[in-house]
């Protein structure tokens, strides 16, 4: 009955050779508890400098913006006209483009929910009386 499973079962010693099951004294050799290692390739730019942003971007969603260089922290000079609210024409144009895009997505979902082929009209039920031949 008894099988060593926990590290305490081994009592700071090795495995029991008379018990023929996989044994992991002190959890050595267990793949499920081993630290996961990911290998990153070293990327260089056109001048041969190593691009360390791969380390920072590891495990992030694709397309997520990650600021990894000191130059990303430098403030940018922005003109006042770039920070002003859009005029009514630009607002209407953006609203129309957004409405058209949402309408297109909605139409795709509606089409996906509809059956592929239209159902033909069902004829009325036809009843047939069954009489066995042996009677």
Residues 49-99: pLDDT tens digits?
888 888 888 888 888 888 888 888 888 888 888 888 889 999 999 999 999
Please state the pTM of the whole predicted model: 0.34
pLDDT at site 135: 63
* CA atoms within 13 Å, Cβ hemisphere of 12: 0
From 5, 8, 10, select the one nearest 22 (Cα to Cα).
Answer: 5
Q: What percent of the chain has pLDDT over 90?
A: 19
33 against 124, higher pLDDT: 124
Q: Is 81 helix (H, G, I), strand (E, B) or coil?
A: helix
From 30, 26, 2, select the one nearest 15 (Cα to Cα).
Answer: 26
E strand or H helix that includes residue 44: strand 43-44
């Amino acid at each position: 009955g008894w099988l060593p499973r926990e590290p305490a079962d081994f009592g700071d010693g090795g495995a029991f050779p008379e018990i023929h099951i996989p044994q992991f004294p002190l959890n050595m050799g267990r793949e499920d508890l081993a630290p996961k290692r990911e290998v990153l390739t070293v990327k260089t730019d056109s001048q041969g400098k190593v691009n360390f942003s791969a380390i920072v971007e590891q495990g992030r969603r694709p397309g997520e913006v990650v600021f990894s260089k000191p130059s990303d922290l430098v403030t940018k000079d922005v003109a006042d006209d770039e920070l002003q609210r859009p005029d009514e024409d630009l607002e209407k144009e953006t609203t129309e483009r957004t409405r058209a895009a949402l309408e297109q997505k909605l139409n795709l979902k509606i089409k996906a929910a509809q059956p592929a082929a239209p159902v033909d009209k069902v004829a009325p039920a036809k009843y047939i009386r069954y009489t066995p031949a042996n009677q």
